[in-house]
Amino acid sequence: MSIRNIFPIIVLSLCISCNDFLDIRPTGKIIAETGAEYRALLTYVYKNIPEDRGLSSLRSDEFDLINSINEYDYTSYFDIWAWNDLSRQDGTSSWGWRGYYHTIYIANYVIEHQHEITQATRSEIDQMVGEAYMLRAYMHFLLVNLYADAYTACDPATTRGIPLQLQADVEQVLRCSSVEAVYKSILDDIESARKHLNVERWDEGYTYRFNTISADALKARVALYMGRWQEAFDAAETVLTAYPDLEDMNLSTSTLPTHYKSVESIVALEQVMTANVQALESVSASLLAAYRSGDLRKSKYFKAKTLSVWILRKGGTNEQRCSFRSGEFYLIAAETANELNRPDIAADYLKRLMQKRYTEKKYTEYASAIDTMTKEELRTEILNERRCELAFEGHRWYDLRRTGQPELTKTYKNKAGETTTYTLDEGDSRYSIMFPTEAVEANPEIEIWN
């Protein structure tokens, strides 16, 4: 009968150990507490920033699609390229939406929880908070430029922008803010970021993170898009003081300026051209024609496969990550100085860039031409230089949007030999992308404006 006595003892001892028995930490699951863990939260969103700037390249005049395109690419990209927004085929690549807002969520989360972060110095925490403000500003900036009218092409105060997300709260149902309100928030965030950022230069391998100067870099681009020339100029100058170096393409040792190790690299975050988009073998003829003789960039950026088919060397790998680089700021400084009626300064910045991009002989020829240009001519010159310099870096579509939204035409010859022409009218509403269907389905209120 001794079993009768043992039995309750066994049960009792088991009860005591039950809490241990239930203490199971699920493999890999974690609630962020330490500085390193908050950093890992940020790393995840840095890694997953939508690469829509590369997709927007298809929509601009940088690609001519040809019928040797494989069916997967055709399905994914054709209707984006041909502006067929209202009759997209199934499987068309989608523009990001939740991806941006997920990044914003984590940014908001870091901002809201900054006082709870453990095992990190004040400056480490500040830096992460600064980066969070930068991420929030940059994501809103990308969204408003993808989905709403260009700031300079509308009345920003009364034009529908995008939903502005400033809280980490899953219970909110947002409506759109005006374009002006979105830009104001972006500028505010940049200022908040400036107060927190304290890492001037990241070590190699971490340069995808925002550093102190990136606040000015983003400020310069945002102000440029708003047509606030003085602010843009000032910010661009500040950037160039810190990052004046350019790749000299006359040297055989120069790398692609989009390479993360390039001397021009300021923030090596976005890959811009995903491997799939980069592999489309169809650099547009008009872009190729924009490169004048002696332009070293043509062979640096592209490679001729046949006489008419040129393929892209830029992008496509994680070595070529580039969100901000010095080259862009020479062009911003030049463009804004010209608008501010300072042709001398404009010409100076432009020439400093051109010197590194053209053969010596051709540089001398083109540089002297610049000195005699009118303001209009110089503007055209700068924009053309911008098109050549920043080709396939996710700038062209936005430049088209903010500089008059010109008429574009594209033709496609199918395998049966039939040619179809597609036209984007001047100021066409398709210069802004429709909200993604899944976003409207998840929150129809974003379509409501006034």
Partner 1 sequence: MKKLLYILLFLSVGLHLSAQSRTIIGQVFDGESSNEPIAGAIISLQKSDKTIVSGTMTDDKGLFSITVNDDIKTLVVSFMGYATQHIAIKGDNNKYTIVLQLLSNEMDEVVVTGYQKIERRKLTAAVSSIDISEEKVGAVKNIDQALAGQVAGLSAVSSSGAPGAPVKIRIRGTASINGTQDPLWVLDGIPLEGTDIPSMEDLKDIDEIYQTSIAGLNPADIENITVLKDAAATAIYGARAANGVIVITTRKGKAGKAQINFSAKLTCNPKTDISRLNLLNSAEKVDLELGLLSQNYSYREHKGYVSSILSSMGQLDTYKTGGWEALTPDAQAAINNLRATETDWNDILFRPVVNQEYYLSLSGGTDKASYYTSLGYYDEQGNVKGVDNNRFNITLKTDYQINKYLSVGASIFANQRKQNSYLTDYNGFTNPVYYSRLANPYMQPYDENGNYIYDTNVQGKETSSLAFNIFEERENTSNRRTDRSFMAVFDAALRATDYLKFTTQAGLQLDGYTLDRYAGENSYAMRKEKLFAEYLVDGEKKTILPDGGMHKVNENHTFQWTWKAMAEYSQRFRKIHAVEAMAGMELRHIEAETLYTAAYGYDPRTLTTQPIIFPSENIAESYPLHQETFTENAYVSWFATASYSLKDRYTVGGSIRFDGSDVFGVAKKYRYLPLYSVSALWRIKEESFLRDVEAIDNLAVRASYGLQGNIDKQTSPYLIGILDKTTILPGNIEDEIETETAPNPSLRWEKTQNVNVGFDFSVLDRAINLTVDYYYRRSTDLIGMKMLPLETGFSSTTINWASMTNKGVEIALATRNIYTKSFTWTTNINIGINQNKVLQETVAENATYPSRQGYPVGAIFAYKTAGLDEEGYPLYLTADGQAVSATEFFKLNSAGASTLTAEEQRNLYTYMGTTDPKISGGFINNFEWRNWQLGINLVFNFGMKVRVTPSYNPTTYDRGLNTNRDILDAWSPTNTGGKFPRLMNAGTRAPEYVQYSEYNLYSMLDMWVKKSNYMRCQSIRLGYKFEGKWLEKLRVKSASLSLEGRNLFVISSNYDNFLDPETMGNPYAQPIPKSIIFGVNVNF
Q: How far is CA 296 from CA 159, 161, 289, in A?
A: 42, 40, 14
Cβ-based burial of 402 (10 A; exposed 0-12, middle 13-18, buried ≥19): middle
Among residue numbers 421 through 440, which ones bind partner 1 (CB under 8 A)? 429, 434-435, 437-440
41 lines the binding site for partner 1 (CB under 8 A): yes
Residue 36 corresponds to which tokens in the numbers above?
A: 């390193």
Among 268, 388, 408, 424, which residue interacts with partner 1 (rule: CB under 8 A)? 268
Among 50, 130, 161, 316, which residue interacts with partner 1 (rule: CB under 8 A)? 316
Total residue length of the chain: 450
279 lines the binding site for partner 1 (CB under 8 A): yes
Among 16, 24, 251, 289, which residue interacts with partner 1 (rule: CB under 8 A)? 24
Q: Which residues contact 222 (CB under 8 A, 6 or more apart)?
A: 137, 141, 183, 186, 187, 190
- The least distance separating partner 1 from the CB of residue 191, rounded to whole angstroms, comes to 23
Tell me which stretch binds partner 1 (CB under 8 A): 81-89, 190-198, 357-365, 383-391.
81-89
Residue 48 contacts residue 105 (beta carbons within 8 Å): no
In the shown chain, the binding pattern of residues 183 to 212 toward partner 1, with x for contact by CB under 8 A and - for none, equals ---------------------xxxxx----
- The least distance separating partner 1 from the CB of residue 59, rounded to whole angstroms, comes to 16
SS3 93: coil
- The least distance separating partner 1 from the CB of residue 401, rounded to whole angstroms, comes to 17
126 lines the binding site for partner 1 (CB under 8 A): no
CA distance 114 to 48: 22
Angle at 221 between CA 373 and CA 207, to 5 degrees: 120
Residue 140 contacts residue 181 (beta carbons within 8 Å): no
Between residues 173 and 285, which has the closer beta carbon with respect to partner 1? 173
Among 118, 198, 318, 384, which residue interacts with partner 1 (rule: CB under 8 A)? 318
CA distance 134 to 214: 8
23 lines the binding site for partner 1 (CB under 8 A): yes
Between residues 44 and 201, which has the closer beta carbon with respect to partner 1? 44
358 lines the binding site for partner 1 (CB under 8 A): no
Q: Which of 425, 340, 436 has the alpha carbon at shortest distance from 379?
A: 340
CA distance 378 to 371: 9
306 lines the binding site for partner 1 (CB under 8 A): no
Tell me which stretch binds partner 1 (CB under 8 A): 89-97, 128-136, 219-227, 288-296.
89-97
Among 63, 101, 233, 291, which residue interacts with partner 1 (rule: CB under 8 A)? 101
29 lines the binding site for partner 1 (CB under 8 A): yes
- The least distance separating partner 1 from the CB of residue 62, rounded to whole angstroms, comes to 16
- The least distance separating partner 1 from the CB of residue 313, rounded to whole angstroms, comes to 7
CA distance 50 to 54: 9
37 lines the binding site for partner 1 (CB under 8 A): yes
- The least distance separating partner 1 from the CB of residue 242, rounded to whole angstroms, comes to 20
Among residue numbers 246 through 265, which ones bind partner 1 (CB under 8 A)? 260
Residue 206 contacts residue 288 (beta carbons within 8 Å): no
- The least distance separating partner 1 from the CB of residue 125, rounded to whole angstroms, comes to 17
117 lines the binding site for partner 1 (CB under 8 A): no
Give the total of residues touching partner 1 (CB under 8 A): 105
- The least distance separating partner 1 from the CB of residue 274, rounded to whole angstroms, comes to 8
Among 86, 251, 289, 307, which residue interacts with partner 1 (rule: CB under 8 A)? 86
Among residue numbers 156 through 185, which ones bind partner 1 (CB under 8 A)? 163, 165, 168-174
Q: Which DSSP helix (H) or strand (E) runs through 241? A: helix 229-242
- The least distance separating partner 1 from the CB of residue 336, rounded to whole angstroms, comes to 31
Q: Which of 383, 393, 392, 274 has the alpha carbon at shortest distance from 323?
A: 393
Bridge partners, 248 (sequence order): none
CA distance 45 to 41: 7
- The least distance separating partner 1 from the CB of residue 330, rounded to whole angstroms, comes to 24
Q: How many CB atoms lie within 10 A of CB 102?
A: 17
Q: Which DSSP helix (H) or strand (E) runs through 367? A: helix 360-370
Q: What is the dihedral sign for C-alpha 250, 254, 256, 257? A: negative
